[in-house]
Amino acid sequence: MGAIIRVTPVLRWRGGVTMTDITRFLRRGILDIDPYIPGKPLEDVKAEFGLSEVVKMASNENPFGPSPRAVAAIEKELKNLHLYPEGPCTLLREVLSKRLGIDKNMITLSNGSDNCVVLVGSAFINEGDEILMADPTFLVYRTIAKIMGGRSVPVKLKDHTHDLNTMRKKIGERTKLIFVCNPHNPTGTIVKKAQLDDFVTTLPEHTILVLDEAYADFVTDSDHPDGLDYIKGGYNVIVLRTFSKLYGLAGLRVGYALAREEIITALNRVREPFPVSRVGQVAAVAALDDKEFREKVIKNNEEGKAYFYREFEKMKVSYIPSHANFILADYGRDSQQLVRSLLRQGIIIRPGYVWNYHTFARVTIGTMDQNRRFIQALKSVL
């Protein structure tokens, strides 16, 4: 008997095109993913509420703009934009390698540390692998787990921070990756050095810990572990860092991953040929040299946090002390309502409902002038 091959017609040409439901062809799991919803763009808010000035304190961006040295470097590079960038980011890796005291083969750059998460997922997650992470946490971890057919295992926060003890207990045969965001977005908390030391040194061989240190630049607590120490110690740890926050280069998209060479080589196998633009590379090199800017930003951040804490206490708003450049606080009312009321006053912050923190909202530390405007608006709303 001859084999019967059934061909399902996809497009039928009958004068017109009958489209087949595209969802039939999607990779399994994709339909469970909701597209990322970013903070409202400034232009939209201005138009919607008829405002001429709006303060955006929703996405943990740098209130002082980009590092001026980075901007100067970008201007010089513009004449070269017809040339492809240097794919491996050799100069930037050399500069980072000197600063961090590790071999340049232990560093890979990408277009934002968000994309480093994608590289990690693409290189390591097989279908059915388990990916451990906090609940709630940065949404990108769950997305890449889904895309790759992995299974996210959420572990509830305890006292608004990672519950490493429970996470440790949830590690099983199939656990491939563990994400720990330190300091944690959205809560601003850190896991302390002693706890993380314990966690890292007892990890089974078949798991990799991914430490997202997007906000580590802002930490002043000496009890905060430096993920790089674990890498230098030879552990299965990947550290993710970014130029988006401290250096104010979020719009350029430059982030990097640090790990032992074998792991970085794996990430390089799945990365794009030219992940960081020419302007991104020169700006990052220049920004690393911008000590003045860095110090100004950190000093302002500390002052802003202290100011918010004082004002919150006066207003009886309970807040989670933060190690980052934002504060998650409990305003005692529906977060969507609160955010809408503040929008009318030209202030954009992030509502907590997206993380199941229904009466909380996250505000980014701004310039002192912006901080005062936020508090003023808050007073009129509450």
- Rounded distance, CA 346 to CA 49, Å? 8
Count other Cβ atoms within 10 Å, centred on residue 164. Answer: 20
Minimum CB separation from ligand PLP for residue 245, in Å? Answer: 6
Closest to ligand PLP by CB, 143 vs 242, is 242
- Position closest to ligand PLP via CB: 112
Determine, following the binding rule CB under 6 A, whether residue 325 of this chain makes contact with ligand PLP: no
Could you tell me if 59 and 245 are in contact, meaning their C-beta atoms sit under 8 angstroms apart? no
In this chain, which of 106, 134, 181, 216 binds ligand PLP, going by CB under 6 A?
181
In this structure, is the dihedral angle defined by the CA atoms of residues 44, 324, 331 and 316, taken in order, positive or negative? negative
Q: 3-class SS at 178?
A: strand
Q: Dump the DSSP string for 110-142.
A: ESSHHHHHHHHHHHHPPTT-EEEEEES--THHH
Phi/psi of residue 148, nearest 5 degrees: -85, 0
In this chain, which of 150, 225, 227, 255 binds ligand PLP, going by CB under 6 A?
255
Could you tell me if 183 and 325 are in contact, meaning their C-beta atoms sit under 8 angstroms apart? no
Q: Report residue 10 as tokens.
A: 């996809």
Closest to ligand PLP by CB, 118 vs 148, is 118
Contact window for ligand PLP (CB under 6 A) among 13-21, 163-171, 239-247, 295-303: 239-247
Minimum CB separation from ligand PLP for residue 341, in Å? Answer: 25
Determine, following the binding rule CB under 6 A, whether residue 351 of this chain makes contact with ligand PLP: no
In this structure, is the dihedral angle defined by the CA atoms of residues 195, 254, 267 and 31, taken in order, positive or negative? positive
- Site size for ligand PLP, by CB under 6 A? 14
Contact window for ligand PLP (CB under 6 A) among 41-49, 110-118, 144-152, 197-205: 110-118
Q: Strands 208-212 and 175-181, how do they pair?
A: parallel
In this structure, what DSSP letter does residue 273 have?
S
Site for ligand PLP in 14-73 (CB under 6 A): 60
Determine, following the binding rule CB under 6 A, whether residue 143 of this chain makes contact with ligand PLP: no
In this chain, which of 62, 67, 108, 113 binds ligand PLP, going by CB under 6 A?
113
Contact window for ligand PLP (CB under 6 A) among 127-135, 218-226, 244-252, 342-350: 244-252
Question: Tokens 């491996």 identify what position?
Answer: 88
In this chain, which of 242, 277, 301, 335 binds ligand PLP, going by CB under 6 A?
242
Determine, following the binding rule CB under 6 A, whether residue 283 of this chain makes contact with ligand PLP: no
Q: Write out the residues near ligand PLP by the rule CB under 6 A.
A: 60, 112-114, 138, 181, 185, 212, 214, 242, 244-245, 250, 255
